[in-house]
Structure 1
Amino acid sequence: MDLYAFPPIAAVLDLAYGLLMALSNLLEPLAGASSAALAIVLVTLLVRAALIPVGISQAKAERTRARLAPKLAELQRKHKANPERLQREMMALYAEEGTSPLAGCLPMLVQIPVVGVIYALFILPVIAGHPNELLTHTLFGVPLGSSLAGSLAAGTVTPTVVAVFGAIVLLIALVGEITRRAFRPVPGAPVVPGAPIGAPSGASAGASTGAGMSPAGVARMQGVLGLLQFITAVVAMFVPLAAAIYLLVTVTWTLGQRLVLRRAYPAVPPQVPPALPA
């Protein structure tokens, strides 16, 4: 069964196709043959802008988790021999504070269907029974529906294809390296489960381990999580150029937003010195 022919999915794709084509036609006097690529950039920015309130909630959750780090470390020390009791106590602590170890995953989950729709729009020759004109659009002469891996496999790769995809992949990797350096965990700080990489508490995204981990284990985990920053660059080699553009804009926006929100909502609020006695 063709998943894209399933009526609800076909209707969503047809709607997205119509909107993207309309935006592309609107931008054509400005961007020419690259109007569809510019339309994808604008759509990405609109999606990310709509998620700003979620990002603010995520930053507040990071601050709460950083504040809970000492309590989590104490729970892990106290119940390290009883994992089930430790899990219950940690969940109770999170519930008491109105947060969750999974807080912050929503932006990623929301974007999954968006990336899926963009991916489908640039691999399907026919959408809802009509030809897919988006496949005729290019960026610097490279079709938006082509991929670097696909071009290499088909033997159709050209210097222009390598240059365009190479630039996007290198930019994504550069943003990943800046993100890794800017949000590097503080050595020796406790690891807070579920906190994004870079929280001042030394928390790491998606970590299921806690402060009871050995220094060698923490180092290994941080190394693996550092490499995860570059997975997007690898993915960009296999997806259509349109989806690679979306990924580049997304990781760049995410880095900028995290830098701004870290200043606005520091994970460890500045300590106010006690007033001197009169």
Structure 2
Amino acid sequence: MLAFSPVHDAAAAAGSVVGWLVGLLTPLAGGAATAAAIVLFTIAVRLLISPLTVAQVRAERRRAALAPQLRQLQQRYADDPATLQSEVFALYRRAGASPVAGCLPALLQAPFFLVMYRLFGTGDGAVGLLDARLAGVPLGWHLGDGLTLSVLLVFGVLLAALAGLATVLSRRARRTASAAAPTDQPGAALLARVLPLLPYGTVLLAVVVPLAAVLYLVTTTGWTVAEHVLLRRPQPVPAEAIDER
């Protein structure tokens, strides 16, 4: 059934692009051309969907700017949930924001990541993708396949890089969670503990997927770190806010 699904068709199209990149890079990269094509294709896809990420960050900033007013409404209408809900939506409407705006770009990105995993995790749609090698290790091999020095070295370097990137994301998530909501709100303390752990799920996934998928995970996580640094850097405080203080 999945062989005739839109995901399969999209993976086949993506596989054709990767194959074209392999042919383009072979004179320069030699035997590592397929690995280089995976990295370049991942970067190209992340660049393609970057407007969705920008929209998500803008929505997050709008909601963050409304946080003080939201807290005031929660205190004022703590005993009147119906009025609180209507006032919250009215606040978002006046500000031109939406309580779910930040979720929509993330949901729209999901199909892209599903196709990428289908391509690099199973080789679906790309002939010979997982048969190519990186430093002598087939891209279709898992960490437990043939525990030779080259396998341990290649996977070890990539997993170490992925763990380092996950640590950066974890620290940034911890700071964001601590600043996003007061700890007296229901679930805020749990959220502050869970969010910093989520990036390490990528490391656990990398342990059980083929080498091609590990390359994809390292590249896309590195791109995510770059987006966090560039798009979620602290914003300058407006002069009006300084005067009010």
TM-score range, shorter chain: 0.7 to 0.9
Question: Could you tell me which residue of structure 1 aligns to residue 237 of structure 2?
Answer: 269
Are the structure 2 counterparts of residues 164 and 27 from structure 1 closer, same or farther at C-alpha, using a change threshold of 3 Å? Answer: same
What's the offset of the Cα at 1:8?
A: 4.0
1:134 pairs with one of 126, 129, 142? 129
Say yes or no: does 1:146 pair with 2:123.
Answer: no
> Does 2:152 align with 1:162?
yes
Map residues 189-268 of structure 1 onto 2, 5 A cutoff: 198=176, 202-203=179-180, 212-213=184-185, 218-263=188-233, 266=235
Alpha-carbon distance in structure 1 between the residues aligned to 2:35 and 2:64: 40
Q: Deviations along 1:16-71, whole A, 9 cap, x unmatched?
A: 22211111111111112221111111111112222333333233222211210111
Which range moved further: 83-92 or 71-80?
Answer: 83-92
Give the direction of change, closer, same or farther, for the CA distance of 1:112–1:34 in structure 2 (3 Å limit): farther
How far residue 166 of structure 1 moved from its aligned partner, in angstroms, is 2.6
- The alpha-carbon deviation at position 145 of structure 1 amounts to 2.0
Is the 1:34–1:140 Cα contact (8 Å) retained in structure 2?
A: yes
What residue is the counterpart of 1:180 in the other structure? 170
State whether residues 32 and 133 of structure 2, in contact with CA within 8 Å, keep that contact through their aligned partners in structure 1.
yes
Residues 1:121 and 2:119 aligned together:
yes
Counterpart in the other structure of 1:96 = 94
The alpha-carbon deviation at position 7 of structure 1 amounts to: 5.7
Matches within 5 A, 1:22-171: 22-106=20-104, 108-122=106-120, 124=122, 127=125, 132-148=127-143, 151=144, 156-171=146-161
For 1:114 and 1:157, locate their aligned partners in 2 and report how far apart those are by CA, in whole Å.
33
Which 5+ residue runs of structure 1 have no aligned equivalent? Answer: 186-197, 205-209
> Closer, same or farther in 2 for the Cα pair 1:240/1:84, shift >3 Å?
farther
TM-score computed with the length of structure 1 as normaliser: 0.74
Equivalent pairs, count? 243
| Structure 2: distance between partners of 1:94 and 1:270 | 21
In structure 2, what is the equivalent of residue 207 of structure 1? none
* Structure 2: gaps (5+ residues): none
Q: Secondary structure at the match of 1:237?
A: helix
For the 8 Å contact 2:131–2:138, the answer to whether it is kept is yes
Contact in 2 for aligned 1:124/1:132 (Cα 8 Å): no
Alignment root-mean-square deviation, CA: 3.0
Give the CA deviation at 1:230: 1.2
For 1:106 and 1:146, how far apart are their aligned partners in 2? 35
CA contact (8 A) 2:55 2:105 kept: no
Tell me: CA distance 1:65–1:8, structure 2 relative to 1, closer, same or farther (3 Å).
Answer: closer
Give how far 1:77 is off: 2.0
